[in-house]
Amino acid sequence: MVNVLMHDSPVGPLTLVSDGERLVGLYFAGWSPPAGALRASDDLLTATARQLDAYFGGRLRRFDVPLGLAGTPFQQRVWSALRDIPFGETRSYGQLADAIGKPSAMRAVGAANGRNPISIVVPCHRVIGADGSLTGFGGGIERKKFLLALEQARELLLTG
């Protein structure tokens, strides 16, 4: 059984999903919860919503809610590497592949990135093309632009 909370954000409504102990999903508008999901909040979802508000308000750079990322061992490695990309920075698919010790696996890294079930918290938006282009993003390129601009502006304020 999972709990589901709808949360408004500057990038539109977000659907937060927990198993009661860990955040297992964070989805943009258009995602439908699985059959049997409870449209009820829990303490974890409330904490995640607070952290999202702090992130969008420029008061949080790294999330610390417990995560339940279900995926293959390769996907797990990619998702872990995503969490290591510093706030306000980007990495290419090739750099991410290098980071997990699989330099020739750029396409597989891209596929794993696209299957990330916990957007924003596991910052798949920080991955870009080798030429600096904003390549595919499940939430749409406009949301990706917004998230990157938000982080880069906050980083400049903090370090500038």
Same domain, 77 and 45: no
pLDDT in tens, 79-128: 999 999 999 999 999 999 999 999 999 999 999 999 999 999 999 999 99
pLDDT in tens, 130-140: 888 888 777 77
**114 occurs within a structural domain:** yes
Q: DSSP of the chain, one letter per residue?
A: --EEEEE--TTS-EEEEE-SSSEEEEEETT--PPTT-B----HHHHHHHHHHHHHHTTS-SS--S-B---S-HHHHHHHHHHHTSPTT--EEHHHHHHHTT-TT-HHHHHHHHHT-SBTTTS-GGGEE-TTS-----TT-HHHHHHHHHHHHHHHHHHH-
Give the pLDDT confidence score for residue 139 in this predicted structure.
79
Active site residue 124: yes
Enclosing domain of residue 45: 3-56
Query: Mind listing the pLDDT tens digit for each residue in 28-81?
Result: 987 666 666 666 678 899 999 999 999 999 899 999 999 999 999 999 999 999
Of the residues 124, 127, 128, 148, which is catalytic?
124
Whether residue 77 is found in the same domain as residue 118: yes
